Structure 1
């Protein structure tokens, strides 16, 4: 068996509140009611981090991601306090990518300047659409004018590494509307665009009461193909299932996920994956989801919702679930050191996928074909 070698490490910080929960959202987010306990939450994050530090002693953090919820609800001073506490306890790489998710409806110029001064160097905007009708049907709190203004505010504050989240196959959307969304995004010249299909997830309002006018599968596929061509024509490389970037501007934090890297997760409902080299084990840890419950217990074992050791038999499926999202695929040597398994363990499944035309396989690398990307679930299921 190959040695299980700890991969690069990231830090995920969950900030769980938003102005109003969207009807399609299945994330651990909670509508704000009254004044938010920013100081108490930051103090709880520090306690949570200190409790998990023994898992990652001596390791370097290569990226930080503030996810939510709506992290841009937090004032810049709170973000600075979190980053200062984290960098005092963990070694940060000099070029660490530090991303903060932002809602255009909570954008302020001074706040972006404060985020940049705090150390944030990448902003991810939840735009979803530039069509006001679509935004209303999605339950968003911003309109298209506010979306464009928010991006420009961030650019004026000195941010040049911006992601725009856009969704397609929205209620009432046709191909021309999806095209206009991309054209308006291109005009803002972001470094990165996340472009993904609306899905009806369990435990959401849309799942219980599906909205009218959602495009059927044929139209959704037409929109996807057309938009992929538009993105390519505008210079955005399609490097992952739903991610497109200018050269050199891929999201380092998400790449670490997809390459089966490690990440420490702090905050209410945060998930982490840590490779324990001395024990030759992979640990998944998650925290209690409700903010009040988690805050009361942060820094103790009672804040932990669960600890799972990933059995060797589970690792091929977990690895492929991530790595095969990438157009570049993966190196077989990386599979071995990140799972602690010999490549022979997946040889039969690789051969079946190659015979089906789903994967390109040689002695060094594995990469999905165009057909394999279209039937990703079928490919991944071979490794269960």
Structure 2
């Protein structure tokens, strides 16, 4: 009997060591890789290329860029792929170039010209006055060649078959337009905007309010998911690196979530996170300064490990608590801790 117990313990030790290796590998290959996308690549092409290069299946991106566009494309690698939805809501910024005189079916330079107008007589003052109209919340009709869904199909699917379809305007927000340069027939400007804002539509609509045709002739994304151009790495640089060295470029997944409230969980209570159980005040090492029900938070262990995304809430009796929403690699760590405790207990019994 004692011999069987020793064999069982030995087997469990081997299992735990194997799981520890997986956990270390998970940590090494999880994070955000900020790519400076070159022109001529789709966002999907970039993801597929780096999946092969890194040997990692789970990679997603935090917002599509058109093939001709360049700039920031944050990639969520490994466990970080699960935070993509939270990054999409962070405002983005672009450097845009607009050309007056021609409107295209794609609203950018790659499309077929469908309308031309004369542009003589345009002044810089008129341009700036038109730009001022696009401030705050506006209604915007997405381009026909876009990934917006209509009746279960992408708009570009209708466009490729030559089918026109009614596109309802959507509310988007332009937070800021600045750095305007007029070199007619083109102008350029920098814009910060909300999720779902199409720069192609913005250029088209600027032309229309001025009574002329216009399209977007160049686009570069300068900010995304709280990152800027200085954080980005050229695709050619990444693919020239040894895959193991690329992990040094990964940004911890909690960095772009800094707008979530940080909450520290006591070491002996992190098991509750694994099972999705709400955390009460006694489970926390400290309480946030302000408790706003419904607000998202970052849950950390006392050792600084990022454990989960949670939501501040209250019990039916009004007592503050935290509900785990997404648990990351560290849930394996919790399981390992449980198994290690069990091994110690069995050894003590012997």
TM superposition score category, shorter chain reference: under 0.3
Q: Which has the higher helix share?
A: 1
Q: TM-score, with normalisation over the residues of structure 1?
A: 0.26
Larger radius of gyration: 2
Q: Which has the higher strand share?
A: 2
